[in-house]
Structure 1
Amino acid sequence: MRPSENAAGPLSGRVRNTPSRLLHDEVLGPQFRYEAEHLLPWYVLIEKVLLVEYHRMELVEAADRTAIAAILHRTTPQTLVADPAANLSDLALALERHVERHLPRRVVHWHVDRSRNDLQACAQLLHGRETLARTAQALLETAEAALDLGERTAELPMPGYTQYQAAQIISPGFYLTAVVEQTLHTVERLLFTHDVNNRSPLGAGAMAGQELPWDRERMARLIGCTSAVPHALTAVASRGWRVETAAELSTYAVALSRFVTDLMAWGSSELGFVDLPDEFCGISAAMPQKRNFPVLERIRGRAAHVASAHLDLVIGQRGVPYTNMIEASKEAGGFRHSAVEELASALRLFTAVLRHLEFRADRMRAACERDFLGGFTLANLLTLRAAVPWRTAQVVAGEYITSALEKGLPPGRTEPALLREAALRHGHHVEAPDALLAESFDVDHGLRNKTTPGSAHPDAVRALLTDQRAHARRLADTWESRRATVRAGLTETDRLLGLSG
């Protein structure tokens, strides 16, 4: 279709000239293409729901309703063209003109008492709702991959680090349950964000409501919303749901970046705890001995983009009046889609990493055996079995480790005399110091000596993994129920319009 071929008279009595080519090329054309690709199905659904209401209010006859519905139902992104002369390069106006041009006769009352403000706000919300569901699904797939890997690695001792120093013995399975915990928490938060914002702006009009008796609650149900936004101004002015969504995505992106940072450290040549297949590795053009994991850097980089998009949304709205403004509705929302897509890409990569990641048990155990990771256990045993006051026990344990290091003794080669001497310096006698040391610095005991729920003990990890799997299933079922509600609304709308499929 050539530009202006579908022109059908002016669209305004106040503006006589069409948008400039510069405005079309820089602003309106790109916006049109984006909306045609991502928002058109929701514009069509909204128009169908409005058509149902026109017929209910006896403003559109049954035959005209059927004709309009059929045209809307066949509309695709390829159907509409951004044309400054015919539709001001605006998708809503292009859809209106497209329907009018294909009707056998003019339907006078169609689009009476209508505004683009609530229509656009609603289309944006519905698209945002759809992307929330897709993001939740991607997060659940990440959680499943972490659960699978966690189950296979709950028994493997590895050092846990604080302040970049080896601290206590954990397992990859224990660490991965933390990944799952954060991921499922985000799925829950997105569900809350979905539910609290799943209210329809339709019927708000330009800002103050509409003049015909639109059934706002019925319209809300037909587009899969739980209710209508109670306040007309809030319906078209607030884009808070975008900021809330981006905040949740950004918060998870921060955690994801931290998880990947640990993997990068574990995969370093110094530690060598993890490995990936060649297809996830990179090389150095100058140093042939190197085998890099650039996929981890890509994930962390994409996580940064998500946080940046959140900031863009906040700054883009902060100085905008509380009413319908293009700056808030379109410009300030431009990077919300970027946040969703960047996180989606990061999640696909991270999930693939989890599915292919190999933990090297020998390297992890050797690192556990190299450091005195049972210092905390030794202090506990000195208090519980030798009646050494807790703070003094900490000092005694620290002095023993210092003496052992000075003599070049590894944790596995205990020196009971050193412990006995350290305790005597503080006025305490320790019975059977060799047994205390053997128990404190045994690697397998270090993994299993925790007794509290949620600890690194393999049994506690397995219990948590079981609970998390059940939780993930419940969340998946809940999200599916939300999608089913949307599908039911679409089906009911098409049924009311006599459409099939």
Structure 2
Amino acid sequence: MSGVSAESLSGRIEAGPDRLLHEEILEPQFRYEVAHLLPWYVEAEKVLVLEYLRMGLVTAGEAACLRNALDDVTAEKLTADRSANMSDIVFAIEKHVLGALTEPIPAWHLDRSRNDLQACAQLLFGRAELAGTAESLTRCVRAAHALALRNLDLVMPGYTHLQPAQITTPGHYLAALSEHLIHSSRRLLDTYDDIDTCPLGAGAMTGPHLPWDRERIAELLGFARAWSHPLVAVASRTWVLQVAAECSTFGVVLGRFVTDLMAWTSDAYGFADLPDELAGISSAMPHKRNFPVLERVRARAAHLTGWYVDAALCQRATPFANSVEVSKEGGAHVADIFGTTRSVLSLMTAALGRMTFSESRMRAVCEDRYLGGTLLANRLTLVADVPSRAAQVISGSYIASAVKTGRPPGEPDPDLLVDMAARRGYPLRQSQAAAVLGDALSPSLEHRRGHVGSPHPQAVRRIIEEQSAAMDRLEEQWRQRRTTVRGARHAVDDLFQAETGQGGH
């Protein structure tokens, strides 16, 4: 045992933390909280000073002294000390403030718990990170839209089951990507609003003894509401699971889009390219240009699912009360989740901003493959009254025969279509067959001009316009949330000014 005294903080134990606990657990946790949570601890402490002032437990002068001491708290001035603060950030802040006072203030830290303070600092951090992640999503959406609008008219093969399936365009595909990004931003906004509930003032589990005004505390911290039940406020870290789940879901779907981009930028496809600045090389094969940036995006997106599982397992089967297992170990990767999500989005935004598509390579595949079988079958029904299932069989038979004889899609054969239809008991006139074939098997999108959601440039432009309007609305909603938080900080400064004669620093 270390023999370090802890009597200055608690009479219950006589020794501070063992050196092993300090090195393996407490000091790393201290560094993490100083790096990510310190401003939020200080913000919460200031609001609690205003509550002491409201309850008449400190004077205006004492409140001003406490506020000045809290403003002096910086990362450089806090150290994980086994003897002085038990390597705990809350104790370290307390010790720093007490050391800055010229006279003791007996009521400061009266009726207080680290449980709700820690829960509040973590949630304030999470809420701010959510808003920052939303900004990254917005930038990625805008990049996807810009790339889509530059490539509305380029035809390319769309794939199902890894086989060429239908004619599409890069613009149409990228509009699907931006739809996912917008959905993710909307889901994160819903999550933000759902978790925008303040735990501060809840105490340890059954509520404090003093008449803390928890709704006022919530308002001063920019929360929409306070937790009505104190146990839920300090025991629950459901918000961590909610955020991790949304980021995990986002990452899973984004990884599927990146898989396509990885294929398209490969030499086997040659549909898309990135500049040298976003490329890599092989040390042994000088003929290669690799795109590890896309591999990084897909791999980092996978971490998001791993961290969701990590958070869920740390909470699973634990008692519903405050515990370090849930509150600290269970949130050990929250900063990683947000940081990685934003990293993935930044890398994706850069790739989309610099990506180009090869019109010749994409068109060549479209002209070489039979991608209009569905349209051919539809026309057999609409023009020649062939029942739809039979039309599918005739269309497939025509294509199979044409492929076998080496006839390209751009050279329709009405006689062959008449023969395939006749074999199945559906006589066609030669003029009917010619009308049915038309441009059905060519890489044209004109027949999709008026179809909502189709890859026709006009339809895709409408989709992007609708998405852009939806993104504008989401941006405004996020701006309102950030404005509320900034307004709360100003309100705290104004209250200190009004009550103590000292404003912000």
Shift in Å, 1:8:
10
In structure 2, the residue matched to 1:204 is 202
Please give the per-residue CA displacement for 1:150-178, whole angstroms capped at 9, x wherever unaligned: 11111111000000011110111101111
The CA distance in 2 between the partners of 1:50 and 1:336, in whole Å, is 25
Question: Is residue 500 from structure 1 mapped to residue 498 from structure 2 by the alignment?
Answer: no
Q: Does the residue aligned with 2:438 lie in a helix, a strand or coil?
A: helix
Question: Is residue 228 from structure 1 mapped to residue 232 from structure 2 by the alignment?
Answer: no
Q: Select the residue among 36, 39, 57 that pairs with 2:34.
A: 36
- Note if contact 1:273-1:359 (Cα within 8 Å) is conserved in structure 2: yes
The residue type equivalent to 1:478 in the other structure is Q
Shift in Å, 1:148:
0.6
The residue type equivalent to 1:192 in the other structure is D
Shift in Å, 1:9:
6.0
Please give the per-residue CA displacement for 1:451-475, whole angstroms capped at 9, x wherever unaligned: 4322212111100101111111111
- Note if contact 2:6-2:15 (Cα within 8 Å) is conserved in structure 1: no
Question: Is residue 10 from structure 1 mapped to residue 5 from structure 2 by the alignment?
Answer: no
In structure 2, the residue matched to 1:125 is 123
The CA distance in 1 between the partners of 2:233 and 2:35, in whole Å, is 24
In structure 2, the residue matched to 1:97 is 95
Question: Is residue 328 from structure 1 mapped to residue 326 from structure 2 by the alignment?
Answer: yes
Shift in Å, 1:481:
0.7
The CA distance in 1 between the partners of 2:100 and 2:19, in whole Å, is 27
Change (3 A) 1:430 1:449: farther
The CA distance in 1 between the partners of 2:350 and 2:424, in whole Å, is 54
Question: Is residue 382 from structure 1 mapped to residue 380 from structure 2 by the alignment?
Answer: yes
The CA distance in 2 between the partners of 1:450 and 1:332, in whole Å, is 52
In structure 1, the residue matched to 2:444 is 444
Q: Select the residue among 168, 171, 178 that pairs with 2:166.
A: 168
Q: Select the residue among 144, 147, 153 that pairs with 2:145.
A: 147
The CA distance in 2 between the partners of 1:454 and 1:336, in whole Å, is 38
Give unmatched runs, 5+ long, in structure 1: 1-6
Q: Does the residue aligned with 1:496 lie in a helix, a strand or coil?
A: helix
After the TM superposition, which residues 47-66 of structure 1 pair with which residues of structure 2 at under 5 Å, given as runs? Answer: 47-66=45-64
In structure 2, the residue matched to 1:459 is 458
In structure 2, the residue matched to 1:250 is 248
What is the TM-score normalised by the length of structure 1? Answer: 0.97
The CA distance in 2 between the partners of 1:162 and 1:296, in whole Å, is 21
The CA distance in 2 between the partners of 1:470 and 1:305, in whole Å, is 32
Shift in Å, 1:450:
6.0
How many equivalent residue pairs?
496
Q: Does the residue aligned with 1:461 lie in a helix, a strand or coil?
A: helix
- Note if contact 1:39-1:127 (Cα within 8 Å) is conserved in structure 2: yes
The residue type equivalent to 1:116 in the other structure is R
- Note if contact 1:448-1:458 (Cα within 8 Å) is conserved in structure 2: no
Question: Is residue 25 from structure 1 mapped to residue 29 from structure 2 by the alignment?
Answer: no
In structure 1, the residue matched to 2:500 is none
The CA distance in 2 between the partners of 1:260 and 1:430, in whole Å, is 46
The residue type equivalent to 1:434 in the other structure is A
The residue type equivalent to 2:456 in the other structure is H
The residue type equivalent to 2:475 in the other structure is A
Q: Does the residue aligned with 2:133 lie in a helix, a strand or coil?
A: helix
In structure 1, the residue matched to 2:474 is 475
Q: Does the residue aligned with 1:84 lie in a helix, a strand or coil?
A: coil
After the TM superposition, which residues 74-473 of structure 1 pair with which residues of structure 2 at under 5 Å, given as runs? Answer: 74-431=72-429, 432=431, 433-445=433-445, 448-449=447-448, 451-473=450-472
Q: Does the residue aligned with 1:159 lie in a helix, a strand or coil?
A: strand
The residue type equivalent to 1:491 in the other structure is H
- Note if contact 1:8-1:97 (Cα within 8 Å) is conserved in structure 2: no
The CA distance in 1 between the partners of 2:285 and 2:30, in whole Å, is 48
Change (3 A) 1:71 1:8: farther
The range that moved more, 55-64 or 410-419, is 410-419
- Note if contact 1:115-1:206 (Cα within 8 Å) is conserved in structure 2: yes
Q: Does the residue aligned with 1:97 lie in a helix, a strand or coil?
A: helix
Percent sequence identity is 50
In structure 2, the residue matched to 1:4 is none
The CA distance in 1 between the partners of 2:463 and 2:40, in whole Å, is 41
Q: Does the residue aligned with 1:167 lie in a helix, a strand or coil?
A: strand
Please give the per-residue CA displacement for 1:90-135, whole angstroms capped at 9, x wherever unaligned: 1111101110111010000111010000000000000000110111
Please give the per-residue CA displacement for 1:53-101, whole angstroms capped at 9, x wherever unaligned: 0001000011111111011112211121111100111111110111011
Q: Does the residue aligned with 2:187 lie in a helix, a strand or coil?
A: helix
The CA distance in 1 between the partners of 2:255 and 2:229, in whole Å, is 39
Please give the per-residue CA displacement for 1:238-269, whole angstroms capped at 9, x wherever unaligned: 00000000000000001110010000111121
- Note if contact 2:51-2:212 (Cα within 8 Å) is conserved in structure 1: yes
The range that moved more, 45-54 or 7-16, is 7-16
- Note if contact 1:82-1:91 (Cα within 8 Å) is conserved in structure 2: yes
In structure 2, the residue matched to 1:3 is none
- Note if contact 2:221-2:485 (Cα within 8 Å) is conserved in structure 1: yes
- Note if contact 2:70-2:97 (Cα within 8 Å) is conserved in structure 1: yes
Q: Does the residue aligned with 1:123 lie in a helix, a strand or coil?
A: helix
Q: Does the residue aligned with 1:305 lie in a helix, a strand or coil?
A: helix
The residue type equivalent to 2:165 in the other structure is A
Shift in Å, 1:430:
2.1
